[in-house]
Structure 1
Amino acid sequence: MQSTLSSRRRSIATTPNGDVPQLAVLQRTPLDFAVIVGIMLVLLLTVGALTWQFWHVNRIYGGVTVANVAVGGMTRAEALAELTQQIPNYPMPAVSLYQADQQWLLQQAALQVAPDFLSAVNQAYLVGRERRFLGRLGQQVLALVGGINIMPPLRYDQTQLQQFVFAVADEASQPGRPARQLGDLTIPAEAGIRVDVGATTTALMAALNGAPTTAVHLPLVVTEFTPQATDAEATSAGEAVPETAAPGSLAALPLGFSPLRLVDEQYDIDMALDPVFISQLMKGGAAMQLDESALRTYLAGLAEQLDIAPHDARLRFNPATGGVTVLQESHNGRQLDIAATVASIRDALANQQAQATLVLTEVPPAVDMNRIAEMGIRELIASGDSYFRGSSAARVRNIEVAAEKFDGLVIPPGEIFSFNTGVEDVTAANGFEDSLVIMGDTTAVGVGGGVCQVSTTIFRAAYSAGFPIVERYNHGYVVSWYGEPGLDATIYTPTVDFRFLNDTGAYLLIEPVVDTVAGVITFNLYGTKPDRVVTIGVPQRSNVIEPEAPAYRVNEALALGERKQVEWEQKGMTVTVERTIVENGTTRTDTLTSVYQPWQAVYEVGPGTEIPATPTPVLSSGVLDPNLAITPTPSSPTTGP
C-alpha cells in the first residue's frame, strides 16, 4: 500500500542540451502535516501519561476525595493527616430501628461509632490501580474530570450493637394470645410478634458498613405467629388434647419454656438461658422453629466473655551458646464453638431436655514454649540501630518502655509483625511519659515522644534483613535523631503502623538492647538466616525545598527582649533508597520513597520585643494568621520526633 509520504510529487526536467536532470522541490500535502501533528500529539500524550503515572507513585490520583475532602496528589499518610485535621468531628448520621409507631434510637456513644478514615484512604489509593492498564487510565481520567468521592465506613462495637438489638427485641416482641372457648363463646386468638434478632442485626450492620451519609431508619425484621393453647388451657376449655408430637421435633415444645442450662464440665461453666429469651428465639407459629441466626448472634456476644486468647511465650536467645530459654511462659486459650453449641441447644429444645452443652475448644498458642526445638531460632539474622544521646529524660524513658514491649517477642513463619500491636496504647496508663511529639505542623509536648525512635530502629533491622515491608510511613519532616533521611519509620497508634512479613520459614525472635549511657538503641533479629544477600544503596535526595523564613510568636511568659527558639528549620526533600536482594539465584530490587516537607524555624519572643524584618506575621496570641500561607502539614502524624 502506497504511504502518504510517498505521494509527494517529484519531476525530472531535462534541457535541450541533455544536461543532468535536476530534482524538483519536494512538496508536502496537508495530509502530511496532519500525520506529523498526529504523531506529535500521540508522543505528547504518551509522555504526559507516563509522567502522570510516575508522579503518582505512592500518591492518590487527582480528583479523588474522601468525605468531600480533596486528597488527590497526597500520600496515604498525608491524606490521613489531612482528614484528621479537616474533620475533627465527623458528622455521624442518626441510626434508629422502628416497628409500627415505635422507634428506638441507637446511642452511638455507647457503641463507639466512629469513621474509619484509614479504610477510606486505602480505598481512595486503589482508585485507578485495580484494573488493566487502559481500565486504570480510564478510572484516573474519570476521577480527574468528574471526581470520585469516597465516604468512610463506620467502626463500632459489634457486641454493644447486638445487645442493643436484643434490648429492642425484648421491648418490641408481643406474646399474643391463643384462641379460647368459653362455653358457646369463642374468643379469637391475638397474633404475637417475634423479632428476628439475627436478620435485624445483619441489616443494621450492613447499613453501618455502607458508609451512610443520611439518617438510617430501619424496620425491625419481625414475624407474626398465632399462639397455641397449652394442654391445660385446652382441657379447661373442654377441648380435646392433641397428640404429642414425635420426640426430636420442635413442634413438641409447649408454649411456656423453662430455663435451659448450658454446661461445660472441662472449664466448670454452668449458666442458663432465660425462658423469655428462649421464647424470643422460637418462631413459626405451631411449627416452633428455632431462630438459629438470632441464637448465633447471641452466642457471638457470649463468646466475648468466655473466650480467652492464648498467651504466646517470650523467649531469650544466648549468642554464646546458641540456646533458647523461656522469658515468659505460654498458655493455651479457649474459644466458644458457636456451631456446635447451636446444635446442642437445638437438640435439647427438640427433645425437651433441661440441659445443653456449652462447647468450648482449646486453642494452642502460636508460640508454644514446649516446641522451642522446632522453631529454628539459632543465629543472628540482622541488626538495626539508631542514636538518641542528648534526649530528655522523659524521651529516654519512653524509648525504654516501648523497647521493653518487644523483648523476647517471637513472630511465627508467614506471620506479619505489627509495631502497634506490640507497643499497645501509647498512654500514660501504659507507662509512657510526656515528651516532644509532632502534632500537625508543630512540635509540642505530648505522651509518648520518642516511641518513633523504637519503630525506626526495628524498621532498619527488618529492612536490612530483606523482609518484605508491608506498611511504613516516613516522618513529616527530617528528624535529626535518625541521621541520614530516608530510613525512618513513624507510627501513630492505632492508625499509622509499621509492619513487615516474616518470610524466612522459621520463627523470628526480637531482642531490643537500650544503652542509655551511649545513647544507642539496637534491635537484634534471631532465627534461621535465609540464603539471601541484601544490599542497601545510598539514599538519593531530590526535589529539595528551602524552608520559609522563620516565624515569631509572642509568649507572655518571656521578658521584653527575650527570644527562645522552639522549632528548627529543615529542608523539604524526596529521598529514595534502593534495596537489592539476591536469593536462590534470583535478584529483585525495591525502592523506598520518603517525601519530607520543609520545616520552618519558629521563635518565641517576649511582649514588645522587636521582631526582625519580613518575618511570617503572627497574631499576638501566637497563632498564625489564617489568611497567610503556612508551612504544609507533615506527611503523617507521629508519637514522637
Structure 2
Amino acid sequence: MRRRAIAFWLVQLLLRLGYIILFCFCLGLAIAGLGFLVYQARYAGRIYQGVRILGVEVGGLSRDAALDLVERELGNDCLPYVSLYAGDQVWTVSPRALGGHLRLGEAVEEAWSLGRAGVFRSDLKARAKLLWWGYRIAPDLHIEPGSALVYLSQIAGEAGHPPRRGQLWVAGLQAHAEESEAGRELDIGATREAIQWRIRERLGSSSWDRTPRIVRHWRGQVPSTTGFSSGPVEVGLVFREVVPPLTEVEGAREQVGVILSSPLMLTFTYQELQPDGKVRTLTRRWRIDRAVLASWIALQRHQTSQGISFKVGVDRDRMEGFLQELADELARPPREARFDYDPQTSTLVMLTPEQWGHSLDIEAAVERLAGACLSSDRQVDLPVHLVPPRVTRADLVSLLPLSLISQGQSSFRESERGRLQDIRLAAARLHGLALPPQTAFSFLDNLGRVAVAGGVSE
C-alpha cells in the first residue's frame, strides 16, 4: 500500500509539473505574442531599431524624420575631397563642385524595407538580427554628368595634349623632320565613373555589424558619423589616346637632302668662228649655291587613304625668275660676218667673223633644272636655241668666184677735214657688208647712229 501511495504521489507531482511547464510555455507565448504585437504597433510607421545610415541612427524614426535627420547630419559636405592627378599635376576639388550627392532618399527607403520583406519568418529573423547586431547602410553616390563635364572640361586642356603631326622644314641648309606623336584626350565620362567608384569604395557597402549592439553600448563605442578615413580620395584621370594621321616624312627628308647635297652647275657649250677662220669651242658656267637651292624648295602635304605624305618639289616661279635673268645675260642677236674679196685670187678675206645668236629656252630649262635638283647628277646643260646669221661664210664660199656687179667713184680730195672724217667712218661701217637675198638695203640702218659721240664730226 505504501508503495502505491508513493507512486500515486509521484504521478501527481509530475502532472502538476507538466501543468506548470505548459502554463509557463503558454504564458511565454502570450507574452511573446503580446510583445510582438506591441513592437509591431510601435514601429508600424517607423524604421526598426538597429539601422544606421553612415553612422546616423535612424531606428524608431519615420521615413520623413529619418530623411530630415540624415540630410541635416550628412548632406553633401560630409563627402571627402577628391584629388585628381595626372603625372605630377594635381587638382583638388570637392564632390559638390563635380555635382556629386548622396542618394539619401534611397538609403532611407532601404532602411525602411529591412524586416518588411513580406515573409513572416524572414522578417522576424531580420528584426531579431537588427536588435542584436545592427545594420549599417552606405548610401549610393551619384555625380551629375553636366556638372562634372563643366569642371573636367576646364582641366582637360591642362591635363591632355593634342596629337602632333609629322613635320618637315628647312632651316638654313639642313632639312629637319619630326615624326608623328600620339596625343591624349581626357575621357570625361570614364573619369567621372572613376571618381564615383573611388568615393563609393571609401563609403563602403551596406552590411551587418560584427559586434553586438549591447557590447558596443557597454564599451561606449559610438560609430562615426560618416565612417570616412581622413584625407582626400585620390583618383587618376582617365585618358584616351588620340592617334594623328600617319605622316611619312623620312622619304621627303631624304629628297630635301639630295637637293641640298651640293651646288648645281649650269653649262652652255657653243662654237665661235675666229677671225683667222678657225672654230673655237667655248663653255660658259654658272654655279647655283645651296642657299639658292634651299629657297627653291617647296613642301606640300598630300592626304592619302593611309595618312599624310609630304611631296618635295621646287618653286618653279622662283626658278623661272632666276632663269629669266640668266636668259637676259645669254641672249644675243645673230651677226653676219664681213668679208673683203680678192678678185685676183678669188678668195674671201674675213674682216669680222659671223656670230650665231643665242636664246635660252626657259620652259625646257625649268624642266631640266627641276629634275637635276632631285638627282645626284649636279650638272645641267642649258637648252639654248642657236639662231644662225642670215649670211654665213659657207653661203659666200658657195658663190665663188664673185662677180663685180657695179661700182661707183667719187672724189672728195678737196673736202674739209670733218667731211673726210665722216666719209671714212661711214665707209668703214659699210665695208664688207653682205646682204641676204631678197633683202632691201637700208643705208641709214647699216650706217648706224650718227652722232658726235659716235665719231661724226658734226
| TM value normalised by structure 2 | 0.40
**Higher Cα Rg: structure 1 or 2?**
2
| TM value normalised by structure 1 | 0.30
The structure with the greater share of residues assigned to helix is: 2
